[in-house]
Structure 1
Amino acid sequence: MYTYFIADDETKIRQGIRRLIDWETLGFSFIGEASNGEDALRFILDKNPDVTLLDIRMPRLSGLDVARLARADGYRGIIIILSGYSDFKYAQEAMRYDVKYYISKPVDEDELTDYLKKVTDELSVREKHTSAIEYFSEKARDGILSDVLTGSSRISDQDLKELGLLSGCYQAAIYEKYSHNAAAVSYRFSDLLRLTNEDNHSFDTLTIDNNEVILLKGDFAIRRFSDFVERFEREVKPQKGSPLDSLFITYGHVVYRPEEITESYQEALFLLKMRFYCDQGQHTFGYHQLPARRTSLTSAGIGALQEYQDRLLGYIQTLNREMVAESLDSLREQIYLSSAPIEEIRLFLIDLYLQVKESIRYHYHTFDIPFPPNSWAVDFINTRYYLYEIITFLSEQAEMIMRSLGTTSRESTLENVIHYIQHNYMSSLKLERIAPLFGYNSAYLGKLFTQKMGMNFTAYLDQVRIDASMELLRDGSLKVYEIAEKVGYSNVDYFHTKFKKIVGESPAEYRRKFRS
């Protein structure tokens, strides 16, 4: 039983053709129908019906376009064109696409029956001429092509020549869906590429480990591909739903010997795995877009978690948006240059976010900062497909924190410095460390501080720390050495000296006096 498929934009015509004759008696079973050219082309290439009845005038793609593209993609079924009398002039063009049967509308029962009897004879002859050797030869060709790409075995030049795989140069490319959340892509890059190649044998397509692989053969195909990629990267901004918007392409470098093909393929495969580093809206990723040398995680700098935590925490607290952005940009660059596994990078970014968050909550526990739950943040970072999405999240969180701290009300730099000291006095603060956070050198900031406050930076810091210690002494729950550490003094004797100098009595005397 042979299969037949009908494509016509009018439902009544499709139904009429199915009812016009006894298809089963003639040896045909209905396999499907379509109302526009695009759906018809997809169905034909997917289901490969034995007989296709095509209306010439259909939306999206005409019947002749469908015939042309289907033939270009290797469809060998019988095509019968349906057309009104005024479109009969297209019959000659249809013959170029191996269309031997052309029926005018309205379809005549006897004419269609006669055609189908001839079609049955033709299909029968084809079956007799299609030997098992030819079938297995095609399967063997796919296997050989897979071996060439993966480097699984060495193929002689003579075998490559007989299979049409021998050429002067080669390049491997891989394509997949651009959007991870999109429905199945309705266009294949090989279809688009075929339209730009006058020689349909200038590239081969193959599926390896669920990846759609293209092997470009010869200078012509490689130049056409290069022109497409260059124009795509430089000019094209694909519209939603367009063929280009559905594609993401990686490609290796051009090689000149068959045994080097696997190198180009492995590069394209590696780039596909490194898609995590792509920019927003990036549709292509070539071998030249990765650094020549990739450093280890630690040597690249992102292993120093404390370093980035301190930088971000400092710039957030000093409301330095420019330096927050610069630090995140530097972080992204260091990650890009690293050779760390992507899962390790995710863990690093999770740790960085949670530590900055907890530090802010500790220093500003009286502020109402709308942090998302830790579980949500961890899940968000773990499920992002791209690094830029995580960096954007960190940037948005930093901005949210700065807004929550009431940043706009403190107008002068000095007020920002004082605010920073009052919330970080328990840390090891030095003017040399604080000044760069505000974009100043330490000498200038120290001079400005003394002029405005009537005391130098160190004296003011001591005053803030002692004031905090007095409150803790009045609370009475901590020992004196614990209070010293809590307000920023690592040496309890030094704390005693400073306390007595500022308050006029020792910490123990102050506590006894307060209790009495």
Structure 2
Amino acid sequence: MKLFIADDEIDVREGLRFILDWSELGFFICGEGKNGYDTLDQILKLQPDVVLMDIRMPKLSGLEVVRLASEQGFHGKFIILSGYSDFSYAQEAIRYGVTNYLTKPIDEVELEKAIIQAKETLISETDTHKKLVEYRNKARDSILQDILLNQADYSYLDVHDLMLEASMYQVVLYTNFNQDSFQNTWDFAGILRLANKNHNALDYIELNHQHIILMKGNVAINRFQELLDHYISPPQKGSPLDSLFLTYGKPVYSVEQIHISYEDAALLMKRRFFCNYDQHVLGYLNIPESQPFISTNSTSGQEYARQLAGYIQSGSRHMVHKTLEYLREAFYHIDADITELKHNLADILLEVKSIINHSYNKADIPFPNNAAIISSIEEKYYLDEILQFFTVQFDMCMNAIGTQSRESVMDGILDYIAHNYQENLKLNTIAELFGYNSSYLGKLLTKSIGKSFNSYLDEVRIENSKKLLRDETYKVYEIAQLVGYTNVDYFHKKFRKYVGMSPAEYRKENL
């Protein structure tokens, strides 16, 4: 601890320097003062723990030094010395917080006792302050967690006291990029603090085993964006940032909105399954505009499986890949647990395997056993990895089946029409998907089914509209749209042409 000696007499200062073994008591003399002004100036600069000072000094008295030092935030202890045994001085000294008042000549025992008492008081106050700071930090962390979870009572929050005053806020979550790693996550909060040169520009919070950064103000948020642009997207291989995966929510402009940015970042962390394999960052712009719940029940899974199996049988690799893209897009918008999504994907592949094995029961189809399929899907971290696994299995399957005849290719085209008649189908679009010239494909279709593409498409649409008309779920104009006719009058015209009556008349006869 630091000790400061102040007395206008040099002999007294010299005597105080050697009256006790200060080092044995845990002190070193950091300075000396010879008048009140000098003493006050040095106290404020040196911030000693204990000041040993005469009460009467030139320019400023000892009591004035105590008062002025206290008013300017000095928290050290004063031991006042005086040649006068005057109770009024002692009273005034106590009023200014001086706890020890000794009269000259100084008794060594009394001085040592006063020094030890001052030291013990300082240690006690320091411990108390540390505990208060610790409790305060714990309380602040708890409040920050409540703010992130939108569970805070905002009417009672003092944003200034919580050091949350800012024009805008943004939340970042981070974790290990290597999802198999059990090593400690690199301290990205520390990296950001260094980048900002301001520890108050962000807060680090741990919540539900998540590493969370709350950035406060334009400067911190801009520095984060600079890191993203120059070092993280993509990061240099082998760098600390290469070991991290980050998500961040949208910027918000009040403490009450912070939870929105956190919810964005937390949602994106859950959606890491949809990232590319080498992707290190997901931001709020990666959140789909809407996330309707798309059922993942067995019916929809079977429909995907049936389409894929049909394209495999027709040898249409392009359509297999296209359907997997549709599947990826559909799953991207599913609001469901990733484990559930993996189960659905496994069900689809198992159903494709069942259909193909049933249709080609004499062929040697190189599908893995069911347990291996389930295990392979469950151990993968990304949707693209799973779909690549699908692609490999389907390519091997088509190779095992071999080149298909023209009739089976035509079956694939007709199957595609059967599943996509409600879309704006064009002959040239289908020809491109199946690798044909549109004029040539038109001739093949006419030869194979005895009618033109447009006539066949109309028949498929009308047959499906008849099924819908036998149920009162939809109105006629809705059924027209469901089967691919954007103009309800045109639908009426086509229906009468193929059925011989209007849609309303048909419904009346068949309900």
Q: TM-score higher than 0.5 here?
A: yes
Matched, 1:385 2:384: no
Give the secondary structure class of the aligned counterpart of 1:173: strand
1:248 and 2:245 aligned: yes
- One-letter amino acid of the counterpart of residue 405, structure 2: N
Number of the residue aligned with 2:347: 351
Shift in Å at residue 163 of structure 1? 2.8
Corresponding residue for residue 49 of structure 1: none
CA distance in 2, matches of 1:442, 1:317: 22
Alignment coverage as a number of residue pairs: 319
2:406 maps to 417
Q: Is the 8 A contact 2:251 2:261 kept in 1?
A: yes
Q: What are the equivalent positions in structure 2 for 1:307-322 lying under 5 Å apart?
A: 307-322=303-318
- Seen in structure 2, the aligned counterparts of structure 1 residues 219 and 443 have a Cα distance that, compared at 3 Å, is closer
* Residue pair 2:232, 2:241 contacting (<8 A) in 1 also: no
Q: d(CA) in 2 for partners of 1:308 and 1:432?
A: 15
Partners of 1:349 and 1:225 in 2: how far apart? Answer: 37
Alignment of 1:169-248 (within 5 A): 169-185=168-184, 187-232=186-231, 234=233, 236-240=234-238, 242-248=239-245
Aligned to 2:279: 282
Kindly state the Cα deviation for residue 133 of structure 1 after the two structures are TM-superposed: 1.9
SS of 1:180's equivalent in the other structure is: coil
| CA positional deviation for 1:315 | 2.2
For residues 232 and 198 of structure 1, the distance between their equivalents in structure 2, rounded to whole angstroms, comes to 18
Change (3 A) 1:197 1:400: same
**Is 1:136 paired with 2:125?**
no
Matches within 5 A, 1:55-94: none
Q: Which amino acid aligns with 1:315?
A: Y
Q: Percent identity?
A: 35
3-state SS, counterpart of residue 170 of structure 2? strand
Cα distance in 1 for partners of 2:297, 2:379 equals: 24
| Counterparts in 2 of 1:254 and 1:416: CA distance versus 1, 3 Å | same
**Structure 1 residues not aligned, in runs of 5+:** 1-121, 408-414, 459-516
Confirm whether residue 360 of structure 1 aligns to residue 349 of structure 2. Answer: no
CA contact 1:318–1:417 (8 Å) conserved in 2: no
Q: Deviations over 1:353-383 (max 9, x none)?
A: 1111112112222222221110111122233
Deviations along 1:29-50, whole A, 9 cap, x unmatched?
A: xxxxxxxxxxxxxxxxxxxxxx
Structure 1: distance between partners of 2:211 and 2:418: 53
Aligned to 2:463: none
Counterpart secondary structure, 1:274? helix
Provide the rounded CA distance (Å) in 2 between the counterparts of 1:163 and 1:448.
Answer: 76
Q: Is the 8 A contact 2:204 2:213 kept in 1?
A: yes
1:431–1:446 CA contact under 8 A, matched in 2: no
Q: CA RMSD in A?
A: 3.5
Q: Say if 1:320 and 1:438, in contact at 8 Å, map to a contact too.
A: yes
Shift in Å, 1:417? 2.3
Residues 1:292 and 1:438: Cα distance change in structure 2 (over 3 Å): closer
* Counterpart-to-counterpart distance in 1, 2:365 and 2:356: 9
Does the C-alpha gap of structure 1 residues 147 and 440 become closer, same or farther in structure 2, counting only changes over 3 Å? same
User: Which protein shows a greater Rg?
Assistant: 2
- Match of residue 332, structure 2, among 317, 332, 336: 336
Give the distance between the partners of 2:345 and 2:290, measured in 1 at CA: 23
The structural deviation recorded for 1:174 is 0.9
Partner Cα separation in structure 2 for residue 171 and residue 430 of structure 1? 50
Q: Residue 273 of structure 1 aligns with which residue?
A: 270
Contact between 2:310 and 2:415, CA under 8 Å: does it hold in 1? no
Q: Distance in 1 between matches of 2:303 and 2:443?
A: 28
Question: SS where residue 330 of structure 1 aligns?
Answer: helix
Task: Give the whole-Å Cα distance in 2 for the aligned partners of 1:170 and 1:371.
Answer: 51
How far apart are 1:202 and its partner, in Å?
Answer: 0.4
Deviation at 1:431, TM superposition (A): 10
Unaligned runs of 5+ in 2: 1-118, 420-426, 451-511
Q: Which amino acid aligns with 1:202?
A: A
Deviates more, 1:153-162 or 1:190-199: 153-162
Name the structure 1 match of 2:78.
Answer: none
Deviation of 1:288 after TM superposition, in Å, equals 1.3
